[in-house]
Amino acid sequence: MTLCQKNQSTQAINFTQGGNQLYIEEPLRKYLDETASGAPTPGGGSVASLAGALGSALTSMVCNFTVGKEKYRDVEAEVSQILSESENLRNNLLDLMVEDTQVYSEVSKAYSMPRGTQEEKEARTEAIQKALRIAMQAPLETAICCHKILKLNEPLLDKGNPNLISDVGVAVLLAESALRSAILNVEINLSYIKDEEFCNKTREKLGSIVKESDELKTKIYTKVKEAIGAKL
């Protein structure tokens, strides 16, 4: 999120109290209410992380309905590893959900700096550019995490409990949507960053992730629909 996404006159809210437990330990309704409100945060980047965490949670659920079952003993080791990685990603994405709300304050502070003199203008511009790079990191990491979630789900098509194959489909749809949502938040920050080389390198890094994720989503979703005989 950048300052340009919300009203520039809106006072930035300090979300650092309680560390990364903000929202995580609170009712879901509070998060949704504050997202829907006129407050500057949470915004799209935070919501993207939450969607990714939900995709990861479903991935873990499929694993938990597979691990420990006699019927799936041959794949237990591999699925257990997928479960471990999925849980790590879920925790990371929850942290990123909060982090995205916290870094906004740095962008807000930068835009609020005085610009009466040439020196002040230069200092303000430098601070804004720095804050935009910081604000970009949470959605960038979210996109990377969501790409990993998609890759974790591919082997679950054949090795996960088939009774939960529709959940594999939902997991990949959430993860891919979250990835693209996160990239939009990377792009809105890049659009204000003046370092073209930095912007090009960032987009180049994400380009291959987007392509592979789209292919994985299409492949897995198609196979899930075939497996359950979906008509729509």
pLDDT digits (tens, 9 = 90+) for 198-210: 999 999 999 999 9
User: What domains does the chain contain, in order, with CATH numbers?
Assistant: 42-228 (1.20.120.680)
Mean pLDDT of 167-185: 98
pLDDT confidence of residue 6 = 36
Decide if 31 contacts 42 (C-beta within 8 A). Answer: yes
pTM of the predicted protein model: 0.89
Q: Which two tokens stand for residue 154?
A: 């591919």
- Helix/strand/coil percentages in the chain, nearest 5: 80, 0, 20
The C-alpha angle 147, 150, 154, rounded to 5 degrees, equals 145
Sign of CA dihedral 162, 163, 164, 170: positive
Q: Look at residue 18 and give its three-state secondary structure.
A: coil
Per-residue pLDDT, 14: 33
Residue 215's pLDDT band (boundaries 50, 70, 90)?
very high
- Indicate if the pLDDT at residue 151 is higher than 80: yes
Contacts of 101 (CB under 8 A, 6+ apart): 15, 22, 23, 41, 42, 43, 46
Residue 23: pLDDT band (50, 70, 90) is confident
End-to-end CA distance of the chain: 35
pLDDT at 19 over 70: no
C-alpha 108/C-alpha 45 separation (Å) is 16
Question: What is the per-residue pLDDT for 21?
Answer: 64
Cβ–Cβ < 8 Å for 175, 56: yes
